[in-house]
Amino acid sequence: MGRPRVDPRCNHPAALAFYAILCGACNDVRPSVFTSGWTTPPPSAATPSYDDEDFLPPSRTPSSPPSSEDEEEDDAPSTIPVYQDWRIGHDPSRPCPDEMVLIDGSFCIDRWEGSLVEITSNGSRPYPPTHTVDDRLVRAVSRPGVVPQGYISGDQAQRACEMAGKRLCTDDEWWRACAGVKKTIYPYGTVHKKDACAEDRKLHPMLELYGPNAPPEIWYVEPMNNPAISEQPDTVALTGSHPQCATPTGLLDMVGNLHEWTNDPAGTFHGGAYSTNNHLGCQYVTTAHGFNYHDYSTGFRCCSDPYAP
């Protein structure tokens, strides 16, 4: 049975307007299999209105970007272990490292959505998951109980995976891992389970942050990369904190939480995010953006060929 195709329908006026605005602001936009599912809520007293030229209300200032005492930290010297291939010192009797799962005997995939460590002159440190990567030297890790990395492009995710001796998954690998041998719609089966995955946030985080009366420019790339978006409560969840959103092989959060990039050089991500509010499960795929695109909702996980002594 081949991979099902998703009908690219998005008929809500607010969603159509959002997509038109966003596409007008992005480079390398191409025809998309894209659904949003969320609706624009009415203004309320609980949500502040916003009509200023600046994008951030004063009370919603984002956290500071990573900083160091010395700018030289950004350049890692040769004494710092930058590239750490998981195969070095690995038990040859095991095809995958502990943080990965073997799928169909043909490839390994991370159990949890990816996070990052930054390599600096003082060693490695966790990278803030709500900040863009830019040109920083980072390496992918897969760990439970941490905030996974959003705000990352496909090419940045690919480089981060390669620094761990891994790579981004192909589209087919990602779908096979999510749907399993039974090719189910959801990681856990064929019938949707409400709240099983982090995919049903009632209020879109952009509208919560900027307010329902914000100008349409909030949907441009720069405001959509504001760290404050996913620093709000009830946004991106800790890896593995939705145990019902697991595949039979033990993969967590393949649906919801963050979109996950694959290695399509034209740009493809899968699975939906916490703000997506769709029930397409493993079939959800977006092909609207180039490989260098990123916003608050874009994340990743790595794949790898099995260990071969």
- For residue 56, tell me if it sits in a domain: no
What is the C-alpha to C-alpha distance for residues 226 and 279, in angstroms, rounded to an integer?
27
Q: Which of 84, 35, 137, 62 is nearest to 304 (CA)?
A: 84
CB 294 within 8 A of CB 267: no
Domain range spanning residue 80? 11-36+76-309
| Parallel, antiparallel or unpaired: strands 259-261 and 298-299 | parallel
**Number of folded domains in the chain?**
1
Read off the pLDDT of residues 29-69 as tens digits, 9 standing for 90 and up. Answer: 333 333 333 333 333 333 333 333 333 333 333 455 555 44
* Positions in the chain whose pLDDT score sits under 70: 1-81
Residue 209 placed within a domain = yes
Does any domain span residue 43? Answer: no
How high is the pLDDT of residue 123?
Answer: 87
Instruction: Tell me whether residue 45 is in a domain.
Output: no
pTM, two decimal places: 0.78
pLDDT at 63: 57
CATH assignment at residue 205: 3.90.1580
pLDDT at 64: 56
Please give the pLDDT value at position 52.
34
Report yes or no on 172 lying in a domain.
Answer: yes
Q: How far apart are CA 172 and CA 250, in angstroms?
A: 18
> Is residue 103 assigned to a domain?
yes
Q: What is the pLDDT of residue 12?
A: 36
Would 243 be classed as within a structural domain? yes
Q: Give the pLDDT confidence score for residue 7 in this predicted structure.
A: 36
- Check residue 84 and give its pLDDT: 86
Q: Is residue 3 part of a domain?
A: no
pLDDT at 58: 32
Instruction: Give me the pLDDT at residue 37, please.
Output: 33
